[in-house]
Amino acid sequence: MHDLKSNERTRAILALSLIPGLGDHRVKKLALGFDDPEKIFSKSKTELRSVDGIGEASALSVLSFKDWKSVDEILDATEKVKAQIITIVDDAYPRLLRQIYDPPALFWIKGNPDALSKPGVAVIGTRNPSPYGKKTARKITTALVEKDLCIFSGLAYGVDGIAHQAALDADGVTVAVLGSGIDMLYPREHTDIANQIVKSGGAVITEFPLGTKPDSGNFPVRNRIVSGMSLGVFVVESAMQGGSMITADLALDQNREVFALPHTIENLNGSGCNFLIKSGSAKLVQSVDDILVELPLDFNSDQINEPASTTLNTPKKPLWRDLDLDDESKLICENLEKQDFQIDDLSDEIGVSTSKLLVALLQLEMQGLVSQKAGKIFSLK
């Protein structure tokens, strides 16, 4: 059960989302701009304008809002369909999703909110997969679930539905992201899958308000959420155009790993996957290990441990301390001893240019002192 404060916070942020012209970006600015977002509508114009991006017109539109009846009607309707609303300031909001460029200010959910933050992989592809695509989607999805990874997808026909069902059959957790309202499930033929997802500890979510129909323009928009919650995106089968390629592009923009299944040149429905591999945008997948090795997680036997950055707490003397390194290499190792660093962040931390830093890191890697992960993330061995 939500406490009174969180209920009022949800009510306030929902109200902001109803203000014409305010926009999702400003809603998030306001929600995150105060320690007490539940009191946004009690703030003065000066306080509202103190938030970056909130000008005179936006502040006045907030202060003039009076349609609380609509807000409460939406909350009542949400409760009637056995859903809830999660906002960007809630603890249940998935951390990875919050980090993307344009996370939704709020979304509707049926099911277990904890599933949203579970480490996982998005499995996506064409609505009309080949027998090879179907077989591989099931096989790889099952193997990912066996590693206790969540499966994210869009509940669509084809690969999406196969991935959700394979996860359920393997007693795994899966999350479906809709391109319609939570009360307008699409496709209707997947209602049973959606119910199974909720009952099995997964979740069905959407940023689209109640009553929103599954218009074609909604699906590219929702794809950023599919990739945003995941550690990586596996494209099973896709032509050069379509939602799966959009999701792959979004994943790359979000600094997520992208994986693709190779296809024969005769299969035009797999040409997108081949292009992603050929262009270096995606890693070729022949087995689940090709995915697992790139994820920012440590696999020990059949279990997932904490992310690699936390394993540095294990008390042992680092190898680099026994070697005669130059001052710059020592500085690098000292910082990597504290935590893993993406090369740009490490450059900012120690004041060394990225190009120069890369050379030093590669030399340390050749010495067996440093390891590199996808996304130019470096860690101390």
Nearest to 336 by CA among 321, 324, 353, 323: 321
Boundary (domain end) residue, out of 58, 80, 102: 80
Task: Flag whether pLDDT at 311 surpasses 80.
Answer: no
pLDDT at 313: 34
Q: Is 373 helix (H, G, I), strand (E, B) or coil?
A: strand
pLDDT at 315: 37
Does 262 map to a domain? yes
Residues 125 and 196 in one domain: yes
Residues 270 and 347 in one domain: no
> For residues 155 and 190, is the Cβ–Cβ distance under 8 A?
yes
Q: Is 375 helix (H, G, I), strand (E, B) or coil?
A: coil
Does 90 map to a domain? no
Q: 299 falls in which pLDDT band (50, 70, 90)?
A: low
Does 107 map to a domain? no
Task: Flag whether pLDDT at 157 surpasses 80.
Answer: yes
Strands (E) in the chain, as ranges, are 84-87, 106-111, 120-124, 150-153, 174-177, 203-206, 232-235, 257-260, 283-284, 299-300, 303-304, 341-342, 370-373, 377-380
Q: What is the CA radius of gyration of the chain?
A: 23
Does 88 map to a domain? no
> What's the CATH number where 22 sits?
1.10.150
pLDDT at 3: 64
Nearest to 7 by CA among 113, 84, 83, 120: 84
Least confident of 23-37, 250-264, 288-302: 288-302
**Number of domains observed in the structure of the chain:** 3
Residues 322 and 353 in one domain: yes
Does 156 map to a domain? yes
Nearest to 228 by CA among 87, 100, 123: 100
Does 250 map to a domain? yes
Residues 166 and 264 in one domain: yes
> What's the CATH number where 294 sits?
3.40.50.450
Boundary (domain end) residue, out of 80, 97, 132: 80
pLDDT at 251: 92
316-334 pLDDT, tens per residue? 445 788 888 888 899 999 9
> For residues 24 and 70, is the Cβ–Cβ distance under 8 A?
no
333-360 pLDDT, tens per residue? 999 988 999 988 898 889 887 767 877 8
- Cβ-in-10-Å burial (0-12, 13-18, 19+) of 269 comes to buried
Residues 275 and 315 in one domain: no
Residues 125 and 217 in one domain: yes
Rounded to whole angstroms, the Cα distance separating 214 from 181 reads: 8
pLDDT at 183: 97
Does 244 map to a domain? yes
Residues 117 and 219 in one domain: yes
pLDDT at 309: 35
44-86 pLDDT, tens per residue? 999 999 999 899 999 999 999 999 999 999 999 999 999 999 9
Q: 303-310: long-range contacts (C-beta < 8 A, 24 or more apart)?
A: 303/148, 304/119, 304/147, 304/148, 304/149, 308/340, 308/373, 308/379, 309/339, 309/340, 309/379
Residues 278 and 340 in one domain: no
Q: 298 falls in which pLDDT band (50, 70, 90)?
A: low
Task: Flag whether pLDDT at 362 surpasses 90.
Answer: no
Mean pLDDT value across residues 212-223: 92
> What's the CATH number where 328 sits?
1.10.10.10
Residues 42 and 172 in one domain: no
pLDDT at 255: 92
327-338 and 343-350 are packed helices; what angle lies between their axes, rounded to 10 degrees? 120
Residues 295 and 329 in one domain: no
Rounded to whole angstroms, the Cα distance separating 316 from 380 reads: 12
Does 87 map to a domain? no
Boundary (domain end) residue, out of 29, 55, 80: 80
pLDDT at 16: 97
pLDDT at 268: 93
Least confident of 4-13, 104-113, 259-268, 317-326: 317-326
pLDDT at 4: 65
CA 32: distance to chain centroid? 19
Rounded to whole angstroms, the Cα distance separating 226 from 258 reads: 13
Mean pLDDT for the chain overall:
90
Tracing tokens 């209920």 back to the chain, one arrives at: 7
Task: Flag whether pLDDT at 308 surpasses 50.
Answer: no
Residues 163 and 253 in one domain: yes
> For residues 110 and 26, is the Cβ–Cβ distance under 8 A?
no
158-173 pLDDT, tens per residue? 999 999 999 999 999 9
Task: Flag whether pLDDT at 305 surpasses 80.
Answer: no
Nearest to 166 by CA among 197, 192, 146, 141: 141
Structure tokens at 56: 């005179």
Q: 365 falls in which pLDDT band (50, 70, 90)?
A: confident
Residues 209 and 133 in one domain: yes
Q: Is 124 helix (H, G, I), strand (E, B) or coil?
A: strand
In which domain, by residue range, is 268 found? Answer: 113-300
pLDDT at 122: 98
